[in-house]
Amino acid sequence: MAKLLVKLQRYFRRKPVRFFTLLALYLAAGSLVFLHSGFAGEPTMTGSQRGPGAAEGPGLPYLGVMQLSRGFKAAATIPEGGRRHGAWFKSTSKGPAERSKAEDRGTTRSRTLRARTVREKEEDRARYVGCYVDNTRRRTLRGVSFFDYKKMTVFRCQDNCAERGYLYAGLEFGAECYCGHKIQAPNASESECNMECKGERSNTCGGVNRLSIYRLELAQESARRYGSAIFRGCFRRPDNISIALPVSQVMLNMSVEKCVDFCTEKEYPLSALAGTACHCGFPTTLFTLHEREDEQLCAQKCAGEEFESCGTAEYLLVYQTQVQDNRCMDRRFLPSRAKQLVALASFPGAGNTWARHLIELATGFYTGSYYFDGSLYNKGFKGERDHWRSGRTICIKTHESGQKEIESFDSAILLIRNPYKALMAEFNRKYGGHIGFAAHAHWKGKEWPEFVANYAPWWATHTLDWLRYGKKVLVVHFEDLKRDLFVQLQRMVGLLGITACEDRLLCVEGQKDGNFKRSGLRKLEYDPYTPEMRKMISGYIRTVDTALKLRNLSGVPDDYYPR
């Protein structure tokens, strides 16, 4: 060992440049590791565990429900990997070899009875329509399709079609899922839908050239699609249609596709079908798209496509094209340093990134962050790189919940989300990135129970701390923001001291999703919460609900309590 050291000493003495180069590289590597550890950590939660008396404060006495723990474990570095795909793949036809697998699988009567029981349990999200004929050359459901020859289930097919906004989901050959807005084929006998689902032997997934079709009740809540266009609904004709929708074209052979293509070519984000007339324009105060009518009022068949509706002269069927509405896309830093620091505070997984996206579109100014996330900066959040006290951003994202950190801000928007949803969202982010998903092994392993035990109390203490120490706090429920975006966004922008143009807010509604929404491809098909977890979380919900009402605020939304 001594000889080796002597040789190294002599070598570097002869070539000192190499010695200093290696030394510089070593110091640079150490600096990078230090900086990474500073940026990648979880939000700090200062303060020791509080006893009963510690919760007392102005307007928020001790609630007496439970003592909330502050002993959180240090979280591991968050992987920033991309989205992880399942076993889905897409195809347009099937070979005869695959069809040959559909041989006799026993009697169909008992399987049909078992499937009927499952269908009854699933009526809250879908209604079974029946067995229908399918044709490989002209599909019965003409939307997207997904195949999984190992793990296909009725739930998985329904969930994927609903996520994309389709009205119908159909299963065929035990492993194939088709989506669509119209059923374009005749009925078949129920006995012909006789194949077990590959991932769910107790249920039926169609047959050979036969579809088991469900109508998706939840499709009304999501954005239905026609190809690349998003269905917005049926609306009464505006009073001055030539101003509200300035471009129009008479189409005697009208179809949804023709009208959408026409408005896309004219570079308008809205396509409105009125019988044989196609109108194009923007959502404005003259045509807000806020008062939807019954779709039956628009149910007049298209002249060019018998299975589609094209609206009437009085009731317009509206689709959103792929043309981007640029009225709300410009963003910049504040022209002068902000006099007050406004927090956009939330528990992790409560939709803070989505809220930042909405605020930036609505105000035209960048939002900042208490942390630094390179992946968000690369996706357009340019305020991410600024120091949170720079004063160049309209508000600052934070997950902090300590007194010192909270009192650093002059006012705050406090975003609260259903803890069951927030915990799962944060767990997915922690192990799969901002729009990725945790692996099945993480949910089934020790990571999930430990995560719930550590993070569930934080969900409650986060809200309680902001209500106690925050100077001027506007409470916004994530569920209300999704349900009534226009009104809630007006409240948020008002706290920021910005007078937002109404047309700009209408533009935000059309661009609301952004690139920060997880798809439904990897949603869990089971409830990960144990009875013990639900009992604990329900107690925290009651604690937060009581604290909100003591401040003369509305309590938590009703859908926090179904468990």
Rg (CA), the chain: 28
Quick check: is 506 in a domain? yes
Is pLDDT of 7 > 80?
A: no
Residues 432 and 451 both lie in one domain: yes
Note the pLDDT of residue 560.
84
Type of residue numbered 46: T
The pLDDT tens digits for 506-547 are: 999 888 876 555 544 456 667 899 999 999 999 999 999 999
387 and 347, same structural domain?
Answer: yes
Residue 279, amino acid: H
* Shared domain check, 305 and 430: no
Contact, 219 vs 230, CB < 8 A? no
Based on the fold, state whether residues 396 and 517 are members of the same structural domain. yes
372 & 510 share domain: yes
Edge-to-edge strands, sheet with 270-274: 224-226, 229-236, 315-320, 270-274, 277-281, 247-250
φ and ψ at residue 384, rounded to 5 degrees? -65, -30
For residue range 371-382, list pLDDT tens digits in order. 988 888 887 899
Helix (H/G/I), strand (E/B), else coil: 346: strand
Are the C-beta atoms of 405 and 46 separated by less than 8 Å? yes
Q: Where do we find the tokens 């719930």?
A: 452
Confidence of residue 422 (pLDDT cuts 50, 70, 90): very high
With a CB cutoff of 8 Å and minimum separation 6, the contacts of 534 are: 563
CATH of the domain at 413: 3.40.50.300
Give the global pTM.
Answer: 0.63
Q: Pick 104 or 562 by higher pLDDT.
A: 562
Q: Which of 196, 219, 242 is the last residue of a domain?
A: 219
Residues 202 and 232 in one domain: no
pLDDT grade, residue 106 (50/70/90)? very low
Total Cβ atoms within 10 A of residue 266: 17
From residue 549, give the alpha-carbon distance in Å to each of 362, 401, 544: 30, 20, 9
Asked if residue 352 lies in contact with residue 344, where contact means CB atoms within 8 angstroms, the answer is yes
Same domain, yes or no, for 439 and 350? yes
**E-assigned strands of 264-421?**
270-274, 277-281, 315-320, 342-346, 368-369, 396-398, 411-416
Of 251-255, 302-306, 361-365, 449-453, least confident by mean pLDDT is: 302-306
C-alpha 238: how far from chain center: 32
DSSP letter assigned to residue 301: B
Question: Alpha-carbon distance 323 to 137, whole Å?
Answer: 31
Query: Which of 32-36, 50-54, 232-236, 429-433 comes out lowest in average pLDDT?
Result: 50-54
- Is the domain of 228 the same as that of 215? no
Dump pLDDT digits (tens) for 193-208: 999 999 888 899 999 9
The answer on 388 and 295 residing in a single domain is no
| In a domain? residue 2 | no
Share of the chain residues as helix, strand and coil, in percent rounded to the nearest 5: 40, 15, 45
Residue range 323-364, pLDDT digits in tens: 888 888 889 999 999 999 999 999 999 999 999 999 999 999
**Token duo for residue 178:** 């088709």
User: End of a domain among 219, 234, 252?
Assistant: 219
Dist. CA 508–CA 393, nearest whole Å: 19
Comparing CA positions, the residue from 492, 534, 284 lying closest to residue 394 is 492
74 pLDDT band (50/70/90 cuts)?
very low
Residue 160 lies in a domain: yes
Q: What are phi and psi of 236, to 5 degrees?
A: -70, 145
Which DSSP category does 129 fall into?
A: E
DSSP 230: E
Same domain, 348 and 434: yes
Question: Rounded to an integer, what distance in angstroms lies between the CA atom of residue 397 and that of residue 42?
Answer: 13
Question: pLDDT per residue over 240-279, tens digit each?
Answer: 999 999 999 999 899 998 999 999 999 999 999 999 999 9
Q: How many whole angstroms separate alpha carbon 505 and alpha carbon 286? A: 14
Whether 493 and 411 share a structural domain: yes
| 440 domain-assigned | yes
Asked whether residue 550 is domain-assigned, the answer is yes
CB 142, CB 149: distance < 8 Å: no
Share of the chain above pLDDT 70, in %: 75
Is 16 a domain residue? no
% of residues, the chain, pLDDT over 90: 46
Q: Residue 75's pLDDT is what?
A: 38
> How many Å apart are CA 217 and CA 436, to the nearest integer?
26
Q: Please indicate, yes or no, if residue 95 is contained in any of the structural domains.
A: no
Instruction: For CA atoms 141, 147, 151, 156, give the dihedral sign.
Output: negative
DSSP 314: S
Q: Do both 369 and 482 map to the same domain?
A: yes
What DSSP assignment string belongs to 108-165? SHHHHHHHHHHHHHTTTTEEEEEEEE--SSS-SS-S-EEE-TTT--HHHHHHHHHHTT
The tally of domains found in the chain comes to 3
Domain of 451, in residue numbers: 342-560
Residue 230: pLDDT band (50, 70, 90) is confident
Average pLDDT, the chain: 79
pLDDT digits (tens, 9 = 90+) for 390-403: 999 999 999 998 89
- Cβ neighbours of residue 393 closer than 8 Å, sequence gap 6 or more: 333, 334, 338, 365, 366, 367, 368, 383, 386
For the chain, the first-to-last Cα distance in angstroms comes to 67
Q: Which of 79-83, 147-151, 383-387, 538-542 is least confident?
A: 79-83
In the numeric block, which tokens belong to residue 340?
A: 């007050």
Beta partners for residue 169, in sequence order: 179, 214
DSSP 245-259: S-EEEE-TT--HHHH
User: Residue 147 and residue 169: Cα distance in Å, rounded?
Assistant: 13
- For residue 367, is pLDDT > 60? yes
Residue at a domain's end among 167, 184, 219: 219
Give yes or no for residue 210 having a pLDDT over 50. yes
Which position has the token pair 């991309």? 82
Residue 252's nearest CA partner among 306, 303, 214, 178 is: 303
- The answer to the question of residue 301 being in a domain is yes
Burial class (CB in 10 A: 0-12, 13-18, 19+), 306: exposed
User: Which region among 78-82, 226-230, 245-249, 474-478 has the lowest average model confidence (pLDDT)?
Assistant: 78-82
d(CA 148, CA 152) in angstroms, rounded, equals 5
pLDDT score of 32: 64
312 touches 254 (CB < 8 A): no
Decide if pLDDT at 408 tops 70: yes
